[in-house]
Amino acid sequence: MIIVHETANPNDSIQGEINYEREHYNSAFVHAFVDANNIIQISNTDHEAWGAAYPANGRAVQFEQVEVYGAWNFARELVNAAYYTAFNMHKYGLTPSLAQADGSGTLWSHHNVSQYLGGTDHTDPDGYWTRNARNYFGTGYNMNDFLQLVNYEYAKLG
């Protein structure tokens, strides 16, 4: 499974978030960070991350989206996030599918983990996506929309 996070820190850069995580890796740790211009993997995806609580941590590739500003940056960040998700799904032989209450599915948000697996009460990236999609494009954006983008990127990988 792949778990999508969002840093919920409107005042930091991707490098600042990476530096913070390196200094506080005992409390939370993900494999990569994504923004409009970068996908920076900081850990081998074969190693366990702990960004979403158990039982999700032991079985997921996890990445954080860094808050970006502007329509172009937000759209580009979503494309980068979808590519990173699709790349890792392809790498591990997973087919894109949304998280389900029975624990199945390969594409999860931190909110899905809270809803279906427990151990956490976070709701990211829902608020970030909703706010930016509304502010920049006058529409909504959710995991169904992200799944479509992941499927597009996945198909390009062959």
Q: Where do the domains of the chain lie, and which CATH numbers do they carry?
A: 2-156 (3.40.80.10)
pLDDT above 70 covers what percent of the chain? 100
pLDDT in tens, 27-37: 889 999 999 99
Instruction: Tell me what pLDDT residue 1 has.
Output: 97
For residues 88 and 61, the answer to whether their CB atoms sit within 8 Å is yes
Instruction: Tell me what pLDDT residue 64 has.
Output: 98
Distance CA 128, CA 124 (A): 7
For residue 101, pLDDT beyond 90: yes
Edge-to-edge strands, sheet with 61-65: 39-41, 32-34, 61-65, 2-6, 107-109
